[in-house]
């Protein structure tokens, strides 16, 4: 069973990917909000006006209230320009930073999924990645928890389409 990807799904992923790329360039992704050091994040989305813009501002405001050391600088980018802006960010080295923050096993799993591996825990796949089954499972679970991978119950996919393309070209 294949799931249908809607335009809204792609847009949500692009906005989340932009934020994730920015987060990856500031400090380690797992603990930035727990730190006491001031952190400034750049948030890109395409909600220029209206209720979506207000909701986004409110959500980011709640996050900053809950994490007093975090400041989020929001930029609304016209939808027609968003893909170009994201690709420019990728070309500027932000994907490399995200990649370097991952463990070796997480890189192996993410790369295998980006290349279309459908049987991640098969003996052949594990041998190709050079990982044991429990190590691959743990890497997969962390990548899913961090939003790098998603599962529809049958197959895994790289959440960010720009990251998937970059991985397919070879980091």
Q: Round the average pLDDT of the chain to a whole number and report it.
A: 77
* Bridge partners, residue 113, by sequence: none
pLDDT score at 26 = 42
- Do 6 and 150 touch, CB atoms closer than 8 A? no
Provide the 3-class DSSP secondary structure of residue 119.
coil
Number of helices (H), then strands (E), in the chain:
8, 4
Spell out, as residue ranges, where the chain has pLDDT lower than 70: 1-35, 89-98, 171
* Bridge partners, residue 35, by sequence: none
pLDDT score at 24 = 45
For tokens 């991640």, the residue is 120
Going along the chain from its start, the domains and CATH numbers come out as 1-92 (no CATH), 102-171 (1.10.10.10)
Alpha-carbon distances of 2 from 40, 74, 151, rounded to whole Å: 39, 35, 12
pLDDT score at 119 = 87
Residue 113: both structure tokens together:
């999924």
**pLDDT tens profile 60-105:** 999 889 888 888 888 888 777 777 777 776 666 666 666 777 889 9
Return all residues near 146 (Cβ < 8 A) that are at least 6 apart. 29, 30
């Amino acid at each position: 069973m294949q799931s249908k990807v809607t335009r809204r799904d792609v847009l949500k992923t692009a906005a989340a990917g932009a934020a994730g790329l920015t987060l990856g360039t500031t400090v380690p992704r797992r603990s930035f909000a727990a730190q006491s050091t001031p952190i400034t994040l750049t948030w890109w989305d395409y909600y220029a006006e209206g209720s979506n813009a207000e909701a986004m501002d409110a959500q980011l405001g709640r996050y900053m209230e809950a994490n007093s050391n975090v400041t989020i600088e929001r930029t609304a980018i016209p939808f027609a320009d968003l893909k170009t802006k994201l690709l420019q960010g990728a070309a500027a080295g932000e994907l490399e930073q995200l990649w370097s923050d991952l463990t070796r096993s997480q890189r192996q799993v993410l790369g295998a999924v980006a290349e279309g591996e459908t049987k991640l825990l098969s003996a052949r796949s594990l041998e190709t990645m050079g990982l044991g089954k429990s190590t691959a499972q743990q890497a997969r679970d962390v990548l899913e928890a961090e939003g790098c991978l998603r599962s529809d119950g049958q197959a895994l996919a790289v959440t960010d389409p720009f990251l998937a393309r970059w991985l397919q070209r070879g980091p």
